[in-house]
């Protein structure tokens, strides 16, 4: 009996009669012998703490074995084949699902992360225990993150906040979610975290007295009902307070509803009985009541939420749920996943994990790792709306979904044959944004030719987009080949290349293997129907071309036209001068959304500058020649802009930025990239954009690239 196994059984005696668990501890301790963590502690402490977390959730012995062995194939000489032979295929399969992919062969961290998540979801689709172990693994790593350097702490915290916390929420394991969020904030915004923690600590006595008063009142008023209750109070978590301060633009002292009181009862009937009683004690705030019992969240969460006005005039929240609902609220899917006599209770879980099956349907169609990550965040880690069919069935859709998303959520053919929609009895356009409570009716025509390409920009859900692309892929292959070839030719020309010079057979083989293609027509077709972006193909081919021809990155790819850009009469309105020629000043490159001012030039009309432009504010500019201007209604105009990107000089950074730009539809007019001192890299990009909001959105996406440290707009 090993030291750690003995400690584990003392804490969790229900696992003491399983020889497989004892064997897993023995194998793990021998395999990790001599290995140390960053803290200097023996490595075996990590898998040991992971299985303690799993035991707290009450998972089965197979999960405990897999949790103990989850790092063995990756970090030791012990192989998956040995695990399968010495244990069983089930444990080996789960361990394989949890094992991280190595990053060999991936061009970026984002691509490695996306492929690792794809593998995890594939394994998760057949066995949910994979993701529960993965979450426990990440939770212990976050608890011990102090021993990593600052860059690694921030990287892991960002990934945890963006992927693992929402995933825990989606699975209903809120105990994980809350800790993930608080720990991530601790490393991403340490000053905010410790400031809130200190203020919570300093007001603890006052808060506990306040909660005790509410609980005493509730017990007194609810006693005559004869309902068995458990009542508890808790402060909001640090991250939720931080978010509230941000969204409401308030200080900690200005927030009042920092506590929640939870009433746990035996039956659903009791929930509503207690709710009625609570509303007679304190006045409920309008629009602050949510019934998650009648309409559960997609992660199985059920509860009544009501916000009440206390006797001191401060609001507080009361949550009312049954004991069974409370268990699900804390542990989510883990509370339902029990293995007895070889049965899994899979029928009930199938309904609760419908979102996972949907993910598996569309993820195969997304070959672009960036698109996969964006779709994952939008479709599965964001707020949802609940709408109804005419028969009263509830459909759970992503916030921002349209009638087309609704149609495709019913059936592919309903979506393909959709010609219109009614919402609450009124005909609406297909890009109408659905709201919770809407009753949606899809109008179809059996003679419809099928979806149009602009539907791809209308739908919000990845499932609908995948079904539309599948239709184009199947029905319009020749057209897709033509469109794809054309897109690649045009994209190559924009970058100063001829496509035929990039299509070397040995280079294409790598493309085919990477994206599971058979030949060049498959590649053209994938670009044509939207499965691949032209930029994905071109960035790799150009990288190989430049490498073979010894071309440095520090070149200007293409020069933009010189001189001020003359624009249409509708783009900028000149006060009192409707027919005057208008030009955008090249010194500051104003965009729609910028504050602007006009300057009457000699013989060249009005030059439009940003209001903060140093030239227009120069003392030599004559104030009398300034004129009031405003952005007009011309929506199709594009404007030249320059940005500078600073970052670490890592392989593939320029290709990654170029790929992002082209995937978002931007044509780069000029690139100037150069290596700087201290292994830094500087890239200047010139391109056209429609408005300041588009530029800001693009810059934010570029900032998310791990090697990028700074992005800003350049004034010439």
Angstrom distances, CA of residue 159 to CA of 154, 156, 651: 9, 5, 21
Distances (CA, A) of 508 to 370, 480, 512: 21, 19, 6
Q: Give CA 75 to chain center in angstroms.
A: 29
Sign of CA dihedral 396, 398, 401, 405: negative
List, in order, residues 6 or more apart from 658 with CB less than 8 Å away. 495, 535, 539, 668, 671
443 strand-pairing partners: 420
Q: Rounded distance, CA 468 to CA 459, Å? A: 10
Residue-by-residue DSSP string for 405-460: HHHHHH-HHHHHTEEEEEETTEEE-TTPPP-TT-BEEEEE-TT-----TTHHHH--
For 642, the token pair is 């320059």
Number of Cβ atoms within 10 Å of the Cβ of 13: 9
> Catalytic annotation on 612?
no
Could you give the CA distance from residue 28 to residue 69 in angstroms, rounded to a whole number? 6
Rounded Cα distance, 322 and 298, in Å? 18
Query: Which residue out of 74, 96, 162, 475 is catalytically annotated?
Result: 74
Instruction: Say how far apart CA 127 and CA 90 lie, in whole Å.
Output: 10
Distance of CA 512 to CAs 104, 373, 489, Å?
18, 22, 18
* φ/ψ bin of 396: left (φ > 0), alpha (ψ from -120 to 50), beta (otherwise): beta
Nearest to 591 by CA among 546, 642, 530, 650: 642
Q: Please compute Rg for the chain using Cα positions.
A: 29
Do strands 283-291 and 230-235 pair parallel, antiparallel, or not at all (unpaired)? unpaired
Tell which residue, 113, 98, 102, has the closest CA to residue 162: 113
Task: Compute CA 248 distance to the chain's CA centroid, rounded to the nearest angstrom.
Answer: 22
Least Cα distance to 687 among 654, 635, 641, 643 occurs for: 641
Residues 488, 494: contact at Cβ < 8 Å? Answer: no
276 Cβ contact partners less than 8 Å away, ≥ 6 residues apart: none
CA 666 vs. chain centroid, Å, equals: 23
Catalytic-role residue among 56, 75, 84, 162: 75
Instruction: Give how far the C-alpha of residue 102 lies from the chain's centroid of Cα atoms, to the nearest Å.
Output: 22
What tokens were used for 449? 């030719």
Rounded to an integer, what distance in angstroms lies between the CA atom of residue 280 and that of residue 217?
A: 12
Whole-Å CA distances, 578 to 336, 572, 573, 629? 69, 10, 7, 11
Q: What does DSSP assign to residue 225?
A: G
Edge-first strand order for the sheet with 315-322 is 230-235, 259-265, 315-322, 304-309, 283-291
Task: From residue 421, give the alpha-carbon distance in Å to each of 387, 394, 435.
Answer: 13, 17, 14
DSSP string, 117-147: HHHHHHHHHH-THHHHHHHHHHHHHHHTGGG
SS (H, E, C) 63-97: HHHHHHHCCHHHHCCCCHHHHHHHCCHHHHHHHHH
Give catalytic status of residue 75 as yes or no. yes
Annotated active-site positions, please? 74-75
């Amino acid at each position: 009996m090993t030291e750690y196994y003995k400690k584990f059984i003392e804490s969790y005696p229900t696992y003491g009669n399983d020889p497989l668990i004892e064997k897993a501890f023995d194998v793990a301790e021998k395999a990790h012998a001599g290995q140390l963590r960053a803290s200097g502690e023996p490595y075996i402490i990590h898998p040991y703490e992971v299985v303690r977390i799993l035991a707290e959730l009450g998972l089965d012995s197979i999960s405990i074995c897999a949790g103990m062995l989850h790092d063995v194939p990756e970090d030791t000489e012990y192989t998956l084949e040995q695990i399968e032979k010495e244990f069983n295929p089930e444990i080996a399969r789960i361990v394989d699902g949890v094992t991280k992919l190595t990053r060999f062969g991936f061009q970026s961290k984002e691509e490695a992360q996306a492929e690792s998540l794809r593998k995890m979801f594939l394994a998760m689709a057949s066995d949910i225990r994979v993701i529960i172990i993965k979450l426990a693994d990440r939770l212990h790593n976050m608890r011990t993150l102090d021993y990593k350097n600052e860059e690694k702490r921030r990287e892991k915290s960002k990934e945890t906040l963006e992927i693992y916390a929402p995933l825990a929420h989606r699975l209903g394991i809120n105990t994980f979610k809350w800790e993930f969020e608080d720990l991530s904030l601790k490393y991403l915004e340490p000053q905010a975290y410790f400031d809130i923690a200190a203020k919570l600590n300093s007001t603890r006595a006052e808060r506990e007295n306040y909660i005790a008063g509410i609980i005493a009142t509730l017990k007194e008023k609810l006693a005559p009902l004869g309902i068995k209750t458990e009542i508890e109070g808790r402060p909001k978590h640090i991250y939720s307070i931080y978010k509230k301060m941000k969204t409401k633009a308030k200080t900690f002292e200005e927030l009042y509803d920092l506590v929640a009181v939870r009433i746990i009862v035996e039956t659903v009937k009791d929930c509503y009985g207690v709710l009625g009683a609570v509303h007679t004690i304190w006045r409920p705030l309008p629009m602050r009541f949510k019934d998650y019992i009648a309409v559960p969240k997609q992660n199985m969460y059920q509860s009544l939420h009501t916000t009440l006005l206390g006797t001191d005039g401060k609001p507080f929240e009361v949550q009312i749920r049954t004991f069974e609902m409370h268990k699900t609220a804390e542990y989510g899917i883990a509370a339902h996943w029990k293995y007895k006599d070889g049965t899994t209770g899979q029928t009930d879980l199938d309904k609760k994990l419908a979102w996972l099956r949907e993910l598996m349907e569309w993820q195969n169609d997304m070959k672009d790792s960036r698109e996969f990550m964006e779709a994952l965040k939008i479709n599965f880690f964001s707020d949802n709306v609940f709408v109804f069919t005419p028969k009263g069935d509830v459909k759970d859709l992503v916030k921002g979904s349209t009638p087309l998303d609704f149609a495709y959520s019913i059936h592919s053919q309903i979506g393909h044959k959709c010609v219109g929609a009614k919402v609450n009895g009124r005909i609406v356009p297909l890009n109408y944004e659905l709201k919770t409570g809407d009753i949606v009716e899809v109008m179809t025509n059996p003679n419809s030719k099928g979806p149009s390409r602009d539907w791809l920009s209308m739908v919000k859900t990845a499932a609908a987009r995948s079904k539309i692309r599948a239709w184009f892929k199947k029905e319009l292959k020749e057209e897709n080949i033509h469109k794809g070839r054309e897109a690649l030719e045009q994209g190559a020309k924009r970058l100063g290349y001829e496509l035929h010079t990039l299509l070397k057979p040995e280079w294409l083989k790598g493309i085919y293997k990477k994206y599971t293609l058979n030949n060049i027509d498959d590649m053209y077709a994938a670009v044509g129907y939207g499965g691949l972006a032209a930029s994905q193909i071109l960035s790799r081919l150009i990288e190989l071309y430049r490498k073979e021809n010894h071309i440095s990155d520090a070149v200007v790819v293409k020069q933009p036209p010189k001189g001020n850009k003359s624009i249409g009469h509708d783009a900028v309105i000149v006060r009192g001068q409707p027919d005057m020629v208008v030009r955008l000043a090249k010194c500051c490159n104003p965009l729609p959304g910028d504050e602007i001012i006009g300057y009457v030039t000699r013989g060249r009309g009005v030059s439009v500058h940003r209001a903060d432009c140093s030239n227009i504010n120069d003392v030599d500019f004559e104030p009398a020649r300034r004129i009031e201007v405003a952005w007009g209604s011309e929506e199709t105009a594009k404007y030249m802009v320059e940005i500078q990107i600073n970052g670490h000089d890592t392989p593939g950074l320029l290709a990654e930025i170029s790929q992002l730009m082209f995937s978002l539809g931007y044509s780069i007019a000029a690139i100037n990239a150069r290596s700087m001192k201290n292994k830094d890299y500087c890239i200047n990009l010139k391109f056209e954009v429609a408005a300041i909001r588009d530029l800001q959105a693009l810059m934010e996406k570029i900032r998310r690239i791990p090697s990028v440290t700074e992005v800003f707009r350049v004034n010439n």
